[in-house]
Structure 1
Amino acid sequence: MIHETSNTTEKPWKNLLMVRKYRPQLILSTLIPSFQQLTGINVVVFYAPVLFQTLGFESNASLISAVNVCTTFISVYCTERYGRRVLLLCGGILMCLFQAAVAILIGWKFGTTGVTTILSQSYAILVVLCICVFVAAFAFSWGPLGWLVPSEISPLEVRSAAQCVTISMNMFFTFGVAQIFLKMLCWMKFGLFIFFAAFVFIMTWFVYFYVPETKNLPIEEMSQVWRGHRYWKRYVDDDAAANLKPRGKPEEEIV
């Protein structure tokens, strides 16, 4: 068994890309880091000073960073207690709601003309509060779990390749969002938050139907997750059935 595992580990890319039973790992390792960046979190973290100045009030970048760091500890405490899916779903719902709220608040004051409007202190605080809740929801869900879930769903023989896919997709979308954000903000105005909220809705739907729960499950036993999943089990079962098919002609029965 150890010798067979060592041999398959020599071809992680071929296994991940070509073997049907590893299709769930390939899809999740691609989509989870992509969705993580399409939440728009880096828009808020990287460009918070520009964003807040555009909205008409002072920069609160340090507040956003503090909320992000502190709320991450919720994930540390709750991941093994309540499961990955619960946190991902709760975080997705909160992010979607409060991104939509930010879009409504900004659209109500600025509209689509981009004309500078003086915001009252209470109104500005309300916008900042919605953004902080959005950041907090990301920090206890898609922030840490966007790395944890892809790292634990892959078996040894494809884990190195799957992790390369995860990191590559994360960096690609981080770069892409950072490059187009300012142009999108000038063009879409408050609609930018609706754009990212739509992706948050899609990824929350994706988690509900396609991301299995891996709470309290050792990595060595991760294969049973796919066999028990209502959708992914077809890949594992079909592959297992193919391996059980006899090869060549069966030997004649001795009478």
Structure 2
Amino acid sequence: MAPKEIRGRIGSFFQMFYTIGIFTSYWVDYAVLQRISPHSPSQWQIPIALQIIPAGLLGFGCLTLPESVRWLTKKGRHDEAWTSLQWIRADSSSSTMEEMEEIRTGVEMERHATEGLTVKELTERQNLSRLGTAAAVFTAQQATGATAFAYFGPQYFKLLVNGSAAKNLLLTAIFGAIKVAACGFFVLFLSERVGRRQVLIWGAVFMAACQISTAAVVKAKPPPAKVGDGGVTSSGIATVALIYLFVIAYNLSWGPLPWPYVSEIFPTRIREIGIAVGVSSQWLFNFVFSLTTPYMITNMGWGTFLLWGLFDAVIAVFTFFFLKETRGLSLEEIVHNDFEEVRDHKVIDVEDNGK
């Protein structure tokens, strides 16, 4: 549905609304903690029940959506496809008609492009490279440590300041607000103005610096042994600030960018499979780090921050050597550039193969 001029921005909206959901949940939890006795089952029942509201709105909202233009075109329902495109673009001018023709042409080319696709093709050098890149990018997104912070914020802030439950949850709620502000700034003002590759490199470098610095401070000056003993120390304030800077860097880089980046690196023939591989990798490692993070916090302490920092440093190196720039290029140009590179290295001979 998205024109290439704003494809990066639209793709990044996934992360934007993800952060809004996290932000909302933190403040709901904080309000419930403040207002309801910790011994009451309502303290967990209310946050769970409130999730029914956005789910219901989403379900009813979907009833108002017309079917996908491309899907309708694939099925030969061209009149309905034209009606759907007019609704999506809120326009029926000649430019929209030209886009409709481009979609019809594209769908026909896609049909020919995906005909006879076999598993063996996925193991060809370029296809395997793209699949590996997609999996690696989304694995890296989870390995930054940001998702672990989102899920276990109060436990992390306890490592930093050893405050009361309310204080730890308040710090986490502020963490959520910063996530929304940083991601919103990126989506609205930066997503189509900066190169994908450079932002991913420097985002990882900055996150590594924040995490490793946090580990060093917590090791050198750990928080008070007793909960709330002596209030928050200057070292505690410094580490909280470093984590807030970390989450700003994440939401200006590795939070929103993997979504549009991975969708751009595949040719039509294997795009659906490629994106599925990437997103599956994301959820696999989301599960892995969600499962292991509580044990890391308990057993490693300050070493948890060091581990995330080292992961971020490795991610920066990986990005520098293996990821290519895709901003401002059409999907066809990105694939063509890869094809030319393969030809230049004589992996295939274009003329002999007739392809």
**TM-score normalised to the size of structure 1?**
0.84
Measured after TM superposition, the shift of residue 33 of structure 1 is: 0.2
Give the Å deviation of 1:75: 2.6
| Residue-by-residue CA offset, 1:132-169 (whole Å, 9 max, x unaligned) | 00000000100011211111111111110011101100
Q: How many residues align?
A: 240
Q: Give, in whole Å, the separation in 2 of the partners of 1:42 and 1:4.
A: 39
Q: Structure 1's 188 and 19: CA in aligned 2 closer, same or farther, altered over 3 A?
A: same
Rounded to whole Å, the distance in 1 between the matches of 2:155 and 2:126 is: 46
Q: Against the structure 1 CA distance between its residues 10 and 194, is the aligned structure 2 distance closer, same or farther, given a 3 Å change threshold?
A: farther
Distance across 2 between alignment mates of 1:157 and 1:246: 18
Equivalent pair of 1:20/1:235 in contact (CA under 8 Å): no
Q: 2:139 aligns with which of 26, 29, 34?
A: 34
Contact 1:94 1:134 (C-alpha < 8 Å) held by counterparts: yes
Q: Does the CA-based 8 Å contact 2:144-2:312 persist in structure 1?
A: yes
Deviation at 1:64, TM superposition (A): 0.9
Write out per-residue CA displacement over residues 156-209 of structure 1, whole angstroms, 9 at most, x where no aligned residue. 111100111011000000011010111111221111111111111111111111
Q: Residues 342 and 348 of structure 2 are in contact (CA less than 8 Å); yes or no, is this contact kept in structure 1?
A: no
Partner residue in 1 for 2:277: 165
Q: Which residue of 2 aligns with 1:101?
A: 213
Distance 1:74 1:12, change over 3 A: farther
Matched, 1:245 2:348: no
Preserved CA contact (<8 Å) 1:80 1:215: yes
Q: Is the 8 A contact 1:21 1:236 kept in 2?
A: no
Q: Distance in 1 between matches of 2:260 and 2:236?
A: 35
Paired residues of 2:207 and 2:249 also in contact (CA < 8 A): yes
Question: What is the Cα deviation at residue 53 of structure 1?
Answer: 2.5
Query: Could you tell me how far 1:215 is from its partner in structure 2?
Result: 1.4
Q: Which residue of 1 aligns with 2:123?
A: 18
RMSD across aligned positions (CA): 2.6
Task: For residue 16 of structure 1, report the CA deviation from its aligned partner.
Answer: 5.8
Q: Secondary structure at the match of 2:157?
A: helix
Which shows bigger deviation, 219-228 or 94-103? 219-228
Show the counterpart of 1:250.
none
Instruction: Identify the match of residue 156 of structure 2 among 37, 45, 51.
Output: 51
Alpha carbons 1:75, 1:140 under 8 Å: kept: yes
Runs of 5+ consecutive residues of structure 1 not aligned to the other structure:
248-255
Distance in 1, matches of 2:247 and 2:193, equals 22
**Matches of 1:99 and 1:160, distance apart in 2:** 35
Deviations 1:28-70 (A, max 9, x none): 1110000100111112111111222243122111111111111
Could you tell me which runs of 5 or more consecutive residues in structure 2 were left unpaired when the two chains were aligned. Answer: 1-104
Q: Distance in 1 between matches of 2:338 and 2:218?
A: 43
1:135 maps onto 2:247 in alignment: yes
Partner-residue secondary structure (3-state), 1:144: coil
Distance 1:12 1:65 in 2: 44
Corresponding residue for 1:195? 307
Report the identity percentage: 25
SS of the aligned residue for 1:80 comes to coil
In 1, Cα distance between the equivalents of 2:296 and 2:175?
Answer: 21
- Opposite residue 244 of structure 1, the aligned amino acid is E
In the alignment, which residue of structure 2 is the partner of 1:71?
A: 182
Of 238, 244, 265, which aligns to 1:126?
238
2:294 maps to: 182
Distance 1:12 1:203, change over 3 A: farther
Pick 1 or 2: higher relative contact order, CA cutoff 8 A, min separation 6: 1
Structure 1 match to 2:32: none
